[in-house]
């Protein structure tokens, strides 16, 4: 039994085909290892819900990343990590693009090269430019609860220009990718959700981001199911308990 089966446990009576025990369309149940305070993990949960793929999610700790149990299933100890039957991959970029292509809904990556490039730029901003600062905010406000003023201020100062740019963009279009929901919206939903939990004023003071994020919390899944992906994002209590929500699809 590997770490996926220990933490992201498959249902005993269902085998590997759907949580009801029946083969659902073409999928096995995905298994994910990650953390509720990690935006990259949350992006993987969101894409599974958006694309109608059931996912059992197991939480790991910082100590797990260097353990033999984790490195044996995740190359270089990279998280989050995904398993589907005998297929393994790691990192949010590989996982989100795999599920985007593997799932039941239309692709969230635009075919128009200009739109796709713009989207990728905003994804890079959410991944490369904000992750460290968001982790700091969440750790100081929720995980450790130390609220170190200097660390919090530095994180906010790093995030403010990004959020200002995002707020301006969302004043022009409904979504980050333009008129349609795309992968860029998914990435920033995870990022802004964590920011709002840790420092709500940073979102609430920016009216366009606030309205957009409220919309993300009510939008039905990309593949037409009744599930609202953002309802699976963790609460403050979930983060404190190191708990991730599974993706369960009821209306195939």
In order along its 252 residues, the chain shows pLDDT tens digits of 788 888 898 754 444 444 444 444 445 789 999 999 999 999 999 999 999 999 999 999 888 888 888 888 887 778 899 999 888 999 999 999 999 998 888 888 888 888 888 888 888 888 877 889 999 999 999 999 999 999 999 999 999 999 999 999 999 999 997 888 999 999 999 999 999 999 999 999 999 999 999 999 999 898 877 889 999 999 999 999 999 999 998 766
Whole-angstrom Cα distance, residue 23 to residue 69? 30
pLDDT score, position 20? 46
Q: Please confirm whether the linkage preceding 194 is cis (ω < 30° from 0).
A: no
Run of H or E including 87: strand 87-90
Report the b/e string of 235-244 with b at 16+ CB within 10 A.
Answer: eeebbeeeeb
Report the b/e string of 167-188 with b at 16+ CB within 10 A.
Answer: bebbeeeebbbbeebbbbbbbb
Enumerate domains of the chain plus CATH numbers: 3-107+222-240 (3.40.30.10), 113-216 (1.20.1050.10)
Looking at the whole model, is its pTM more than 0.85?
yes
Tokens coding 4: 């996926």
Tokens coding 99: 């599920």
pLDDT score, position 78? 85
Please give the torsion angle defined by the CA atoms of residues 196, 198, 204 and 208, in that order, rounded to the nearest 10 degrees: -40
């Amino acid at each position: 039994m590997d770490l996926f089966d220990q933490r992201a446990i498959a249902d005993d009576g269902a085998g590997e085909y759907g949580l009801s025990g029946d083969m659902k369309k073409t999928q096995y149940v995905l298994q994910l290892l990650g953390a509720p305070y990690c935006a990259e993990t949350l992006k993987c949960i969101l894409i599974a819900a958006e694309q109608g793929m059931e996912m059992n999610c197991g939480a790991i700790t910082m100590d797990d990343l260097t353990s033999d149990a984790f490195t044996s299933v995740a190359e270089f100890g990279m998280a989050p990590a995904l398993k589907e039957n005998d297929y393994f991959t790691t990192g949010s970029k590989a996982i989100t693009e795999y599920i985007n292509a593997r799932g039941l809904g239309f692709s969230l990556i635009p075919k128009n090269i200009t739109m796709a490039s713009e989207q990728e730029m905003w994804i890079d901003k959410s991944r490369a430019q904000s992750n460290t600062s968001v982790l700091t905010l969440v750790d100081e406000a929720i995980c450790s609860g130390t609220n170190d003023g200097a660390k919090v201020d530095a994180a906010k100062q790093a995030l403010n220009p990004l959020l200002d740019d995002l707020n301006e963009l969302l004043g022009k279009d409904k979504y980050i990718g333009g008129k349609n929901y795309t992968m860029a919206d998914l990435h920033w939903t995870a990022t802004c959700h964590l920011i709002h939990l840790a420092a709500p004023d940073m979102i609430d003071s920016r009216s366009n981001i606030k309205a957009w994020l409220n919309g993300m919390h009510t939008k039905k899944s990309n593949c037409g199911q009744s599930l609202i992906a953002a309802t699976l994002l963790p609460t403050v209590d979930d983060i404190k308990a190191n708990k991730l929500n599974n993706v369960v699809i009821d209306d195939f």
